[in-house]
Structure 1
Amino acid sequence: MPGRGVRKARTLPRMKEYDVVIVGGGHNGLVAAAYLAGAGKRVLVLERLEATGGAAVSKRAFTGVDARLSRYSYLVSLLPRKIVDELGLRFAVRRRRISSYTPQGDRGLLVDAGDEARTREQFVRLTGSEREFEAWRRFYAMTGQVARRVFPTLTEPLPTRAELERRVDDRAAWEALFERPLGETVEEVFADDTVRGVVLTDALIGTFTHAHDPSLRQNRCFLYHVIGGGTGDWDVPIGGMGAFTDALADAARAAGAEIVTGAEVTGIATDGAVAEVAYGDGHTVGARDVLVNASPHALAALLGEPSGPKPEGAQLKVNMLLRRLPRLRDAAVDPREAFAGTFHIAEGYGQLQRAYEQAAAGAVPDAPPSEIYCHSLTDPSILSPELAAQGVHTLTLFGLHAPARLFAADPTGVKERLLAATLAQLDAVLAEPIADCLAVDAQGRPCLEAKSPLDLEREVGLPGGHIFHRDLAWPYAPEGASGGGAEGDSAPGGDVTRATGRWGVGTGHANVFLCGAGAVRGGGVSGVPGHNAAMAVLEKTR
């Protein structure tokens, strides 16, 4: 993806011609490359970093420690099996039986996806009655039905709003998810603050907003989090996220795509019929079509067009390696179960609102909300046999309500304060400090690293640290829209992102397509924008 500070790219003949040039070798760019090369197109992928994968990579993050962490993105939900099968990927995911654990003092709520009776008991243990469990079951039966009907449309031509509503075929569900602020539904359906918070967190991942935001950003985020795979399950990539992108790179090369790393793209010129792509130190290649696996904001800059305000990410990502899992204050729950699903911290409904209000006012929240999961409990293959035998585990923490604006004046100081406050909230539900459980690297330093939105922008090119490249869009086009544009699409990049076309990937230029998270139906590790951009090119050139 476009950026600065990379070495000179490997030399290619000046103005060599390709059918398709793909800017950025992240997972979506590699999906597109594999499809297009497999269809006989001459494809070149230009990646500014020294390896492919973008934010979907595995790294040995700690010196001298043989553990490959999914350093940035870490779970798979929206990846269609269709893409894995059609590209012949040697890649698998594993489902987590434990959906979530939410501690409350010396008790907590464990949601066991494999045992409904046990989950019912957990709700009763927390709330004192079965009311919240029955509400939970009805609510997620509704979202599950929506998931089964909406998810298959993500790799089809973009439906209109009316077409998607007909597909859902449930007026109450459509109104709850697509028309009313999610907070209204959550407050009507659930009474318990903890349960309300568990539901709402899926509306806030990577999205700085609140339950009653009239723009419905929270609804769009929630929708993408509950439709993945047609089930809403968040699965663990076996071998880490890098196993997925390595398999994609292998598939693209096997199909005939050429991949050049260390090649920073610096500009795109197009007349709508042919394009020139400049990269590295004065190199230029020609292409009939250009796919951009970068944000709409970055695309506008590459085209020399107004880019508008930069999107804003709002998360703190923390990677940890532990000598052992910590003990919980809730002695009735095994840490191996609590950390196997999503471990919610300071994510009660009221706590989420207070943290949002404080961050919106420019302050580090007193009780930063976050959630944790342990990859190695589901997939120990990311650890060396020696580490696994010692009981070592990974922890991935994703903090909410940490907008980039908080870090602007003092990036290091604010990150340190936010990290300390976040870990203090974790310690409050543990029977021992998390610091006592951290492994150390070859230099004796604790195995912990934290990434702010500014770090994510610098390291992997996410604009403002926004993990979805911009606010998520509804997975439909409005009735009567010219070119199938997304409703309310006034995202950074202006006209660059309006004419989304039949597949939701078009731009204001007939031969330039978005194939990254900023496309309609983008966001998350899905491969969907890469698939759809490839389909748009193939449809155009038939």
Structure 2
Amino acid sequence: MPERTSYDAVIVGGGHNGLVAAAYLARAGRSVLVLERLDHTGGAAVSTRAFAGVDARLSRYSYLVSLLPPKIVRDLGLRFAVRKRTVSSYTPAVRAGRPTGLLVGGGEARTRESFAELTGSEREFAAWQGFYGTTRRLAERVFPTLTEPLPTRAALRAAVDDDATWHALFERPLGELVEETFTDDLVRGVVLTDALIGTFAAAHDPSLRQNRCFLYHVIGGGTGDWDVPLGGMGALTDALAEAARGAGAEIVTDCAVTGLATDGRAAEVTCARGTIGARRVLVNASPRELAHLLGEDPPPPAEGAQLKVNMLLTRLPRLRDSRVDPREAFAGTFHVAEGYGQLERSYQQAASGELPAAPPSEIYCHSLTDPSILGADLVRRGYQTLTLFGLHAPARLFTADNDATRERLLAATLAELDTHLAEPLADCLARDADGRPCIEAKSPLDLDAELGLPGGNIFHRELAFPYADPEDGQGGGAPARWGVATGHPNVLLCGAGAVRGGGVSGIPGHNAAMAVLEEG
């Protein structure tokens, strides 16, 4: 049978958002073709055997799930589940010359006690409870809007129905709220970290990019919880690919798209299969890549700012704070060098072109919550994974010599972690089949080269508040209503670069599909 040469929708990129869009459109009876340049689907949401001869499937680039709406899982009948972490976070510290730390989780009484031991009073815990009670109410009101047509700013403000919270999170630099609410430097830093994931900003940045990042990190699921994907992140994208194929979508891998032409009514996509016609093209790639395909000028550069590190250990390291079991400390988010003052110093050093002297990072252990990602023998022998996400590592620091800078930053990051351990982390690293330590690091430039993330930006471009902005160039019609419009009526963004994009959510894929179906 000859290959089909025209489709209702061609989707450029088989990452999780493209697969979500494909599944929805195919289930609605549309003819759908997904073209993926790599030899597998999943994009950044994959599980990989990263170390030679080792039976461990790590979520290589994206780790936890918060923003994926249960609605998408239900609508598409996905065989996918997440599991709650028993501990939210642990942050080691030294007070009065003694190793200590802040444990959040294990029940309210346990958390209250940890706050009291760290700060010497009940005040910070009460402030913490009040602060996250407020963000939870915000999440309950904002999260449902993410899979609805894009609200106006006034409509979203009315939905939030709390002028003080709106003013603090949507109009003022986040640092003002953090400093008004908390007094302890460590507690302030733990709060601020959610504003800096993949985002290079100071607490008082007037652009409010830190506020936008913080918002998306505290509204997921209407709770702000970050959960572990059972079977690894690849379990989600495998389920999505199965759902899309089961609904009738065609998925072609090893097929890079090299060009896109449109007159606003019909489009032609050029790839290894030749030229394919489409009524609509949904682009699950960055706005930079879209401009390249169209032969247009690219948007302003978007810079990523993170170091990603994957590790396999023969055992979890012992902590200097011997009162805490490493299985608790690493089950949640383990914060390193993320005090409020430390974060500001690291930002200023990186902004001046230097590597942070004490690189901030956060770590968690997937296999403590979900050992299924490890082979049975590794589980029996007590092996564990560690995933580290380094902050304030902007792409600009790596441009002169990516390899050397990555290795310097990795060494400094692990050395900073070692200050809180009772044994060097290197002593706990497993070895692969060739005898090499099981550790890999990815800089922003690596993420650009491997995944097409512009400047390593995990959000494809600057995050936007989840409401309509008259200056965002969204144009008119259904794509603008759903936040997925481009400068061409029949070309839509369905990836992280859409309004309400970023993270493992499927929301841009859902919204692009809804825009197509709304237009008929």
Deviation per CA, 1:163-221: give whole Å up to 9, x if none.
Answer: 00000001111111111100000000000000000000000001001100001000000
Residue pair 1:94, 1:378 contacting (<8 A) in 2 also: yes
Match of 2:206 among 211, 214, 220: 214
Match of 2:455 among 464, 473, 476: 464
Secondary structure at 2:219 match in 1:
helix
Counterpart of 1:175 in structure 2 is: 167
Moved over 4 A (4+): 497-500
Quick one: which amino acid aligns to residue 521 of structure 1?
Answer: R
Counterpart of 2:388 in structure 1 is: 397
Quick one: which amino acid aligns to residue 151 of structure 1?
Answer: F
| 1:12 to partner: Cα distance | 7.3
Counterpart of 1:492 in structure 2 is: none
Secondary structure at 1:107 match in 2:
strand
Counterpart of 2:511 in structure 1 is: 532
C-alpha separation between the residues in 1 aligned to 2:107 and 2:314? Answer: 30
| 1:498 to partner: Cα distance | 5.8
C-alpha separation between the residues in 1 aligned to 2:486 and 2:187? Answer: 41
| 1:298 to partner: Cα distance | 1.0
Are 2:194 and 1:194 aligned?
no
Match of 1:449 among 432, 436, 440: 440
Are 2:502 and 1:505 aligned?
no
Counterpart of 1:91 in structure 2 is: 80
C-alpha separation between the residues in 2 aligned to 1:47 and 1:385? Answer: 33
Residue pair 1:12, 1:283 contacting (<8 A) in 2 also: no
Residue pair 1:100, 1:343 contacting (<8 A) in 2 also: yes
Are 2:235 and 1:243 aligned?
yes
Are 2:41 and 1:52 aligned?
yes
C-alpha separation between the residues in 1 aligned to 2:499 and 2:147? Answer: 11
Residue pair 2:287, 2:299 contacting (<8 A) in 1 also: no
Please report the TM-score for the alignment, with normalisation by the length of structure 1.
0.94
Counterpart of 1:38 in structure 2 is: 27
Are 2:368 and 1:351 aligned?
no
Residue pair 1:61, 1:68 contacting (<8 A) in 2 also: yes
Counterpart of 2:224 in structure 1 is: 232
Residue pair 2:466, 2:500 contacting (<8 A) in 1 also: yes
User: What are the equivalent positions in structure 2 for 1:125-136 lying under 5 Å apart?
Assistant: 125-136=117-128
Counterpart of 1:514 in structure 2 is: 493
Match of 1:22 among 5, 11, 15: 11
| 1:33 to partner: Cα distance | 0.2
Are 2:300 and 1:309 aligned?
yes
Match of 1:274 among 259, 266, 272: 266
Residue pair 1:225, 1:232 contacting (<8 A) in 2 also: yes
Quick one: which amino acid aligns to residue 188 of structure 1?
Answer: E
C-alpha separation between the residues in 1 aligned to 2:21 and 2:130? Answer: 38
Counterpart of 1:409 in structure 2 is: 400
Are 2:242 and 1:253 aligned?
no
Are 2:104 and 1:104 aligned?
no
Quick one: which amino acid aligns to residue 170 of structure 2?
Answer: F
Which 5+ residue runs of structure 1 have no aligned equivalent?
1-10, 482-486, 490-494
| 1:297 to partner: Cα distance | 1.2
C-alpha separation between the residues in 1 aligned to 2:85 and 2:148? Answer: 28
Match of 1:287 among 265, 275, 278: 278
Quick one: which amino acid aligns to residue 311 of structure 1?
Answer: A
C-alpha separation between the residues in 2 aligned to 1:120 and 1:179? Answer: 31
Residue pair 1:312, 1:464 contacting (<8 A) in 2 also: yes
Aligned length: 514
C-alpha separation between the residues in 2 aligned to 1:233 and 1:193? Answer: 23
C-alpha separation between the residues in 1 aligned to 2:179 and 2:216? Answer: 21
| 1:37 to partner: Cα distance | 0.3
User: What are the equivalent positions in structure 2 for 1:136-175 lying under 5 Å apart?
Assistant: 136-175=128-167
Quick one: which amino acid aligns to residue 262 of structure 1?
Answer: D
| 1:309 to partner: Cα distance | 3.1
Counterpart of 1:337 in structure 2 is: 328
Which 5+ residue runs of structure 2 have no aligned equivalent?
none
Quick one: which amino acid aligns to residue 394 of structure 2?
Answer: P
C-alpha separation between the residues in 2 aligned to 1:174 and 1:498? Answer: 27
Secondary structure at 2:480 match in 1:
coil
| 1:508 to partner: Cα distance | 1.0
Secondary structure at 1:501 match in 2:
helix
| 1:91 to partner: Cα distance | 0.3
Residue pair 1:220, 1:472 contacting (<8 A) in 2 also: yes
C-alpha separation between the residues in 2 aligned to 1:153 and 1:300? Answer: 29
Deviation per CA, 1:453-505: give whole Å up to 9, x if none.
Answer: 01101111111100000111000014xx3xxxxx5x3xxxxx5x666500000
C-alpha separation between the residues in 2 aligned to 1:309 and 1:86? Answer: 36
| 1:308 to partner: Cα distance | 3.2
Residue pair 1:317, 1:399 contacting (<8 A) in 2 also: yes
Quick one: which amino acid aligns to residue 439 of structure 2?
Answer: L
Quick one: which amino acid aligns to residue 502 of structure 1?
Answer: R
| 1:97 to partner: Cα distance | 2.0
Aligned-residue CA RMSD in angstroms?
1.2
C-alpha separation between the residues in 1 aligned to 2:128 and 2:2? Answer: 58
Counterpart of 1:7 in structure 2 is: none
| 1:283 to partner: Cα distance | 1.0
C-alpha separation between the residues in 2 aligned to 1:111 and 1:136? Answer: 10
Residue pair 1:264, 1:279 contacting (<8 A) in 2 also: yes
Are 2:94 and 1:115 aligned?
no
| 1:507 to partner: Cα distance | 0.8
